[in-house]
Amino acid sequence: MKGKRIFWVRVLRRGTALFMATVAVWLLLMAAGLGAAADAFAALGERADFVSALLRAELGSTSGDVTNGELDGWGRMVLGQSALLRGNAAAVAAHLENPGTVPTVDQPAGGSSAQSDPLNPLKEDPDEEVPLPAVTAAPDDIVPRTLIPTSAEGYSYADGVYIFNRTDLDFDPAALSAAAVDLGLGDSSSPQILIMHTHATEAYTPSGTDVYTPTDNSRTLDREQNMVRIGEEMKAVFESMGLSVLHDETPYDYPAYKGAYTRSGDGVQKYLEQYPSIKIVLDVHRDALIGADGTVYKTMTKIDGTDVAQVELVLGSPQGGDYPDWQKNLTLAMKLQKSMNTLYPTLARPISISSPVYNQNLTTGSLLVEVGSHGNTLQESIAGARLFARAAGQVLLGLE
């Protein structure tokens, strides 16, 4: 009897707390103005550390509310009252399980509009090779980071999409997010999507049976271990959704790295001339993340209990050459990012805009896709590639 009384006291206390929190939010909205307050709450709601603190304040100890990386009981109920918080449940659960792993921001706070990421320095020359050390550490010694913003400071932001602008260009993210993508993808009787790799030999950290003969540090011609494998995984998902895909497996970065973008640009142009039905071109890479002290990092999140490499969409800009329609590609990127955020929160890093054009001026449907980094394993990156393709496919199917 006593146990039942304690249970119902907890129900009453927590129900009252939820009601009071709702009233407080309503009063804040009325006082601050709907637009400004909505933006502020959107930014806070996407911070796993903030929501974790909120849960602890509402529920007391939450040690029993996380099982296998997912919220249980009251935690799930509290977050379930809000679509914004519900979408961030995976990150919150991860933070509650291990509060020391607060998601990091992949840029320094403040600074000028043309910012630089300390783990991923801005390169003005796309043919500049990032020197990588030979991988000598075991995969478990590489430092994982979930690179998602902890605030909107330093980003362009609209509709839950964060954009890391490394250039001096101005744009209206809200207008671009609301704009339509007019590509006329057509039906799947002709090729719709081209997947290719300017740097096909990029590879990941060897792990388990995923080993390879390197051509250089973290690079190989083994197509089962380099970016060609990642492209094949994406292609399989797209095709399972009814989309028509061509996959260019040419290693444009071998035997010479320099000039790879010129060679891959020529290759893309030939495909576009041969198959005018192609409207989407995805140049699939992996990132390279090294700290100033030489520490190797990898992008990592957990989705449905699986370790998954994060995905970053990279946009070129007219700062690097003739590229008048760059904002149309940015609109497409924002649509894909919103789809990832909806289906798989924490999968996507912020969109990055850099100076080089990256051959994206060849068609208004071109994006550079970074799947994980050289510190990730192949299996982590395959998982990220598949989820990206599933989220992107949902958007592309709507363009037919």
Residue 301 lies inside a defined structural domain of this protein: yes
pLDDT of residue 268: 98
- Based on the fold, state whether residues 57 and 153 are members of the same structural domain: no
Residues 257, 278: one domain?
Answer: yes
Alpha-carbon gap, residue 150 to 128, rounded angstroms: 31
Q: Are residues 81 and 120 in the same domain?
A: no
Q: Are 135 and 30 members of one domain?
A: no
Q: Any idea which of 94-98, 110-114, 153-157, 354-358 has the lowest mean pLDDT? A: 110-114
What is the tens place of the pLDDT at every residue in 236-276?
999 999 999 999 999 999 999 999 999 999 999 999 999 99
- State mean pLDDT over 42-51: 50
pLDDT of amino acid 292: 77
Of 111 and 369, the structure prediction assigns the larger pLDDT to: 369
Position 202 in a domain: yes
pLDDT at 28 over 50: no
Amino acid 257: pLDDT: 93
pTM of the model: 0.74
Q: Are residues 110 and 21 in the same domain?
A: no
What CATH number is attached to the domain comprising 151? 3.40.630.40
Q: Is residue 361 part of a domain?
A: yes
Q: What is the token pair recorded at 375?
A: 């510190």
218 CB contacts (<8 Å, ≥6 apart)?
132, 135, 202, 203, 204, 205, 288, 374
* Domain carrying residue 363: 105-398
Looking at the fold, whether 75 and 117 belong to one and the same domain comes out as no
Distance CA 248, CA 232 (A): 10
In a domain, 185, yes or no: yes
pLDDT of residue 103: 43
Model confidence at 4, pLDDT cuts 50, 70, 90, reads low
User: Are 247 and 393 found together in one domain?
Assistant: yes
With contact defined as beta carbons under 8 Å apart, do 73 and 65 qualify?
yes
Task: Kindly state whether residue 56 falls inside one of the protein's structural domains.
Answer: yes
Q: With a cut of 50, say whether residue 87 has pLDDT above it.
A: no
Q: Does residue 87 sit within a domain?
A: yes
CA distance 205 to 378: 7
Do 158 and 273 sit in the same domain of this protein? Answer: yes
77 pLDDT band (50/70/90 cuts)? Answer: low
100 found inside a domain: no
Asked if 90 and 118 sit in the same domain, the reply is no
Q: Are residues 214 and 322 in the same domain?
A: yes
Give the mean model confidence (pLDDT) for residues 26-50.
Answer: 48
Indicate whether 150 and 15 sit together in one domain.
no
Residues 90 and 130 in one domain: no
Alpha-helical regions (H) of 207-364: 227-240, 260-274, 326-343
308 in a structural domain: yes
* Per-residue pLDDT tens over the stretch 128-147: 776 776 655 566 778 899 99
Q: How many domains does the chain have?
A: 2
